[in-house]
Chain A
């Protein structure tokens, strides 16, 4: 069975991650507004869902932890305790713990049991510390009802004598497959029997004729009447570990006392209409007042319903979960369709006379639709940047409390969309920059006040689209970057000559130099000087860029610019010999006609080209790549920007500029130096995409000389 489940693990982890994230976000909001019932409910539901999922998939440690969290939240929900900041902080700690447990479970690695146990003990201590105040007055089973009341707000619950025993009517039908999964319902029945007076009546409605019977399938249901001192929760807990497909309806039966009404209203929203009907039917049958009927174990569709019921905070109205590979396949197919379509258009133009006209019309329609289709399919991969922003408030919360700073975080343009792969890779650099801004940028409250700034620092995140790129700005109103200090530190480290004077922009550039840090103290927050260079490298590897602007004591702006997608680039097609290559348009500075007069060879090896008053290293692609059908008829130099400055690439000819869909070479081959990928051109042939930095490196290591055309 575990094998069957393993394929669902991924879905569970994905869901659990999202739930933990939403739980975290709500908890943070709770620090400022602890009494929002919807918020409390969201946290409760998240804990509950993770508990259910993890129990199903056998991550019992996760289930146990979430169980305690859920219980705590349940008490908050019931108004038994208030979400004070110490409770919220503890719960935040628990979510961290959950995260690490989930991460460990993903890799099949053991989690840090001590840490988990510590958090759990704290939670349990919190749970034990306080549940008396009102609870004594309200009694054991009241919480469930009060919880409904919290959601409904207007339902009044009459007080009742709860010291006496209660009667419960339970309609229980375990999933037909439960026998196969060793979920013996008999054990539940015998547990129930221990709680009090038990009457059980089997429900044989679904029992097939003997011939059709599968001995391993459970056909039975039970109608149970239980009179007990135990609370409803205790009874519910017995049914907790059942399969999703099981149906349990628990009704508390009270004898009509005063003018109590059937509070069907109570159930209307919580329970599915079906369940309401059953409870109504039950009411009619037994002439008793049904107090609270609520399915214990929500069936699968209801879980979905609950999820969509959550206030749509950042996500679109409804969505389905699709594997990224499926989307990639779709993108591939659409790419093929575009190629086929352009081929058809070309062939169509050759047709004679009347047919041609009709054909042309159809073809131009086809073209329009395929283009639209392509745009829409590419759109599927786009996700809002809020997914990356969401993890920041938590981090800032932790940081500020650790550093004793006050920071207000504002986020703008969270709905700005970018490709999922870009999003995944931008998370860490973003966290790093934000952490730096809080640690180095924003001053301590006293210092801020002394400088006439508001005590609370401001940190703004902006995201917006600009000419095919997404721009992310991190703006703080902190101390700014002290260019003099950076410069003297750089001189100290020998990065800059003693007497050199640098422009501000060049000074800021030093921040991204490996091993550079101006922090006086190295903390566990930041200041080790590893990072900024990594940040820049990460961003550059995504085809992006990061810039800094800063004014001393006014603040700093870090601006990240990234391509919207990694799947498509704007390319310049160039011809080298018989082959076409694609150069990323972003790296091209200019293209010039080759003038052989300007070539000079240094020491017979390195070739330089004089462009105006600069000397560029010149790389002959045909030669560097050892192409078999090189033509040696190069006529153009494409000047490109790379790691170490500018280089000139010698090619035969420039061709069209077009967007190309990037395909991996590594999927079926291996990575090739100087090549970042491949694409398929309009005629169906494969063209390789040049990796400019790679070419630069290759040209330095591989001895190659320019062959002069005869």
Chain B
């Protein structure tokens, strides 16, 4: 099933490669569609044997073996306080390259399911909404509309802070 998803994603990339604008890989989290810059995505793989790390926040599920490299995986649902969902065969890990400080990290993001690849013109992304102090939106770089649907574009580097431990994101409670 891992291959299948990789295949699909590859196909999607192929399909829209010759259009203008930046490409975004989108995925589903609790019914909402989120997008990340596709150039940051290294691969998509199934969720398998995660090794727990002691004394870490709940949303850091643990570490996995990515062809010899040990990388942490972050459950975005837990990260955003969306409550946990039992992992099923659509649950995937999106392996992304992120940057925090002067260092590059490779981390895995656990999401409900991978959705699509879109071209989104930079102009058509509006700034992050302001919810006041209610909701911390620092991990959102903007909101875009694709095919009449809303896509929340994430700031991947901000997610790196979940890993380095300098994450000041207020706990978003549902």
Contact = CB atoms under 8 A, between A and B. Distances in A.
Interface of A: 332-333, 335-336, 579, 624-629, 663-665, 667-670, 672-675, 678, 680, 684-688, 698, 702
Contacts of A624: 54
B43 interface: no
Contacts of B22: none
24 contacts: A332-B68, A332-B69, A335-B68, A336-B67, A625-B52, A625-B54, A627-B54, A663-B70, A664-B70, A667-B69, A667-B70, A668-B69, A668-B70, A668-B163, A669-B71, A669-B72, A670-B164, A670-B165, A675-B54, A678-B51, A684-B65, A686-B49, A686-B65, A688-B53
A650 to B, nearest CB: 15
A668 B71 contact: yes
Nearest to A685: B49
B69 A669 contact: no
A686 B64 contact: yes
Nearest to B61: A628
Nearest to B66: A668
Contacts of B49: 684-686
Contact of A680 (B52, B56, B68): B68
Nearest to A625: B54
A680 B70 contact: yes
The binding surface of chain B is classed by DSSP as strand
B166 to A, nearest CB: 10
Contacts of B71: 668-669
Given A332-B69, A664-B70, A680-B68, A669 B55 contact: no
A680 B165 CA distance: 24
A333 B53 contact: no
A356 B2 CA distance: 29
Contact of B54 (A333, A626, A629, A687): A626
Contacts of A669: 53, 60, 63, 70-72, 105, 107, 163
B106 interface: yes
B68 A672 contact: no
A686 B70 contact: yes
Interface centre among A669, A680, A698, A702 (most CB of B within 10 A): A669
Contact of B68 (A336, A675, A688): A336
B150 to A, nearest CB: 32
Nearest to A622: B54
Given A336-B68, A702-B55, 8 more contacts: A332-B68, A625-B52, A627-B52, A667-B69, A668-B72, A668-B106, A672-B56, A686-B49
A678 B62 CA distance: 12
A110 to B, nearest CB: 23
A293 to B, nearest CB: 53
A400 to B, nearest CB: 44
Contacts of B105: 667-669
Question: In the complex, which of the residues A333, A629, A664, A667 has the most CB atoms of chain B within 10 Å of its own CB atom?
Answer: A667
B51 A674 contact: no
Contacts of B63: 665, 669, 678, 686, 688
Contacts of A665: 53, 63, 70
Question: Top 6 A-B pairs ranked by shortest CB distance?
Answer: A625-B54, A686-B51, A332-B68, A669-B72, A678-B70, A336-B68
Nearest to A333: B68
Contacts of B107: 668-669
B67 A628 contact: no
Indicate the member of A625, A629, A670, A698 with the most B CB atoms within 10 Å: A670
A685 B51 contact: yes
Nearest to A677: B70
A675 B164 CA distance: 16
B65 to A, nearest CB: 5
A332 B70 CA distance: 11
A335 B107 CA distance: 21
Contacts of A674: 54-55
Contacts of A686: 49, 51, 62-65, 70
Contacts of A673: 54-55
B54 A680 contact: no
A685 B54 contact: no
A332 B72 CA distance: 18
A672 B60 CA distance: 13
Interface in B40-86: 49, 51-56, 60, 62-65, 67-72
Nearest to A334: B68
A707 B106 CA distance: 37
Contacts of B165: 670
A688 B51 contact: yes
Contacts of B164: 670
A538 B52 CA distance: 30
A295 B25 CA distance: 60
A453 to B, nearest CB: 56
In this complex, the member of A629, A668, A678, A680 whose beta carbon has the largest number of chain B beta carbons within 10 angstroms is A668
A680 B107 CA distance: 17
Nearest to B160: A668
Contacts of B55: 625-626, 672-674, 698, 702
A663 B52 contact: no
A548 B68 CA distance: 41
Contact of A672 (B54, B67, B106): B54
A667 B62 CA distance: 14
A684 B56 CA distance: 22
A484 to B, nearest CB: 48
Contacts of A335: 68
Nearest to B108: A668
A229 B113 CA distance: 84
Contacts of A675: 53-54
B51 A672 contact: no
A444 B102 CA distance: 52
Given A678-B63, A686-B64, A672 B53 contact: yes
A342 to B, nearest CB: 14
A686 B67 CA distance: 11
A336 B67 CA distance: 7
A680 B64 CA distance: 9
B63 to A, nearest CB: 5
> Which of B56, B63, B70, B105 has most chain A Cβ within 10 Å?
B70
